[in-house]
Chains A and B, each alone.
Chain A
C-alpha cells in the first residue's frame, strides 16, 4: 500500500529536479522533502523516490543509510539533538543530556511512548559560540542550562 503524496510535494520535486543536469542529483534534497511529509523513509518512500528519479531502490537506500538526518524509522514529534562535541562538552552538555534523559524518562536514541520526544546526541552543530546547544526539530537553542531546557520543553505542545 503506498500512500498519497501532496500536490505541493510533487511540484517541489519537479522544481528540484530542474536545477540539475542529472535527475539523480536531486536525490538528497528530495529525500528530505519526502521525509518531512511522511515522517520517515520507510520502504514505501524508498520506492516512491526511486520511481520519481528513475533509480534502483537499493541506490536510494544506500544514500538514506549514509546521512544522519535521513531516518528509516519514525521519530517523535519533537526530535531533540544535543551536541556532545568538544566546545559544548566543555560547557556542560554532558550533565544537560543526563538532565534531559531523566526529565523525558527516555535514553539516548529512544522515543517516548507517547511519540512526543526523540532524544539523540549529535556532532558539532556549528553554534559553538552559544555552547552548550541543541536542536529541537530545525530550531537551534544555545547557552543552555537546566532552567532554559525547562522553558523550551514547556513551550512544546
Chain B
C-alpha cells in the first residue's frame, strides 16, 4: 500500500545507512525546510494537525508555538524514546529500521523553533537501538546533515543519545527532563510548562519518536496532503502495534480512523486458532478496556475518548475468553504499583494497596466487598496526582472492575 509514510521503506536493505536513505529521497525535506523561514515551517506543521503519538495526543505544532522566541539563552529539543507503555513497540521499529527519518524530523523541528541541541532519551533496555541511532547520527554528521552549518544553511544542530536506566515514569515528559538532568524521575508540577521552563530551566520541546518522524512528509507534501491521510482534526497515519492472542502480531501503519475490528480481524489476521475475543486494550495498558461488543469503534483520538477509553500509544492488546479478567487486573495493578514514582501519596499507596487486594483474591482469599474497595481506592487516585500516571493506573483498573464485575465477583468465592 502506498499510503504508508513511516513504514513504507522498512523493507529496503540497509535503510539505516545515510547513503541508502538519501538514495530513497531522504533529507530532501530538510533541504526544503532550511530554505523556508522558520515561522513558515512551524505554520505548515500547525496546519497539519499532527497530534502527539506518545499518548496524550497534543498537537505538536501548538506545542512548538508555545516556546517563547524572545528569551535569551538556549532552547532544547528532547525526543521521547522511552517507549515503556505496555503493549507498545512502534518507536523501536522506527529507530531500528528508519533512524534517519527520525533525525530528519528532529532537524526540521529544531530549525522551526530555533534549537541547537537535541537529546534523544531512549529507554535503557533498547541498547541495540541506541547504537543504531548513534551510528546514524555519525553518518548524518559525516554528510553535513547534522552538526555545524547544515547543508550550508548557517543552521547548527547537535543531537545526542541519552540512555535511561529503567523507569516507566520517565516517559512522562517532566520526569524525562529530571532524568536527563541526572535525577530520580519525579514529575514536576505544571505550570510552568516545559515549553517555557524545561530542560536546565530553558524552553524545551518534547516530542515522541513517531510524532517527529511524521514531520518530513508534512514538509515535503504539505499540510493538506497530510490531513487527507487521516481525519480533519487528526492528520496522518498511525502505527498500530497489535499483540496478544492474534495470529499476526506486529505493527500496522494505517490511516487514523481505521476501525478496531478491521485492525484485529483483517490486518492482524484475527484471533489465534480456537480463541474467542473477550476484550481489547486499545491504546497501551493505561487505556480503559473495551469489551468484544465495542470493537466497531474508529481508532482515532476523539472516537476513543468518546467511548470512555483512549487511543494513547495505539498499542492494541487482544484478550481472549480463556484469560481470566482477574489475571488482567493483577498484571495491571502489579505494573502500576511497581512503576509509581512514590511522589504523590494517592498513587504510591493506592496502587500498592490495590495490588495487595488483587493478589489476595488471586490466592483464593477474596472478601465480598473487595471490588468496591478497589473501585474506591482507584477513584481516590484519579485526578489527585501531579502527573498522569495516577490516572493511567486508575482508569484501566476502574474499567476492568466495572465492565467485568460479574466475572471478578465469581472469583471472590
Contact = CB atoms under 8 A, between A and B. Distances in A.
Nearest to B182: A27
A85 B285 contact: yes
A62 B186 CA distance: 12
Interface string B308-337: 000000010111100100011001101100
Nearest to B167: A67
A140 to B, nearest CB: 7
B124 A32 contact: yes
A69 B87 contact: no
Interface in A2-35: 19, 21-22, 24-29, 31-32
A123 B182 contact: no
A128 B327 contact: no
B243 A129 contact: yes
Interface string B130-142: 0000000000000
Interface stretch (B158-166, B373-381, B382-390): B158-166
B92 interface: yes
Interface size bracket, A side: 35 or more
Interface in A48-85: 53, 62-63, 66-70, 84-85
B200 interface: yes
Interface string B235-247: 0000001111100
B315 A128 contact: yes
A86 B165 contact: no
A29 B165 CA distance: 8
Contacts of B84: 123-124, 126
A86 B317 contact: yes
A28 B127 contact: no
Contact of A123 (B86, B88, B92, B164): B86
Interface residues on B, range: 35 or more
Contact of B245 (A25, A63, A90): A90
Given A90-B317, A129-B89, A66 B184 contact: yes
B251 interface: yes
A84 B181 CA distance: 30
Contacts of B413: none
B183 interface: yes
Contacts of B127: 138
Contacts of A97: none
B13 interface: no
Given A67-B164, A86-B285, A86-B328, A125 B335 contact: no
Given A70-B165, A87-B243, A128-B315, A28 B179 contact: yes
Contact of B165 (A53, A69, A127): A69
Interface string B171-205: 00000000111111100000000000000100000
A104 interface: no
B166 A26 contact: no
Given A22-B181, A86-B328, A128-B88, A67 B243 contact: no
Contact of B184 (A62, A69, A126): A62
A136 interface: no
A89 B331 contact: yes
Nearest to A31: B165
Given A67-B166, A69-B125, A90-B319, A22 B200 contact: yes
A87 B250 contact: no
Nearest to A55: B182
Interface in A79-105: 84-87, 89-91
Q: Which residue, A29, A70, A90, A138, has most C-beta atoms of chain B within 10 A?
A: A90
Contact of A67 (B165, B180, B241, B251): B165
B126 A90 contact: no
A135 interface: yes
Given A28-B165, A32-B165, A86 B86 contact: yes
Contacts of B163: 28-29, 32
B181 A123 contact: no
A131 interface: yes
B335 A123 contact: yes
Interface of A: 19, 21-22, 24-29, 31-32, 53, 62-63, 66-70, 84-87, 89-91, 122-131, 135, 138, 140
22 contacts: A22-B182, A22-B200, A24-B181, A28-B164, A28-B165, A66-B341, A67-B165, A69-B164, A69-B165, A86-B244, A86-B328, A87-B244, A89-B327, A91-B245, A126-B89, A128-B86, A128-B244, A129-B89, A129-B242, A131-B249, A138-B125, A138-B128
Interface of B: 74, 83-89, 91-92, 123-128, 160, 162-168, 179-185, 200, 241-245, 249-251, 281, 285, 315, 317-320, 323, 327-328, 331-332, 334-335, 338-339, 341
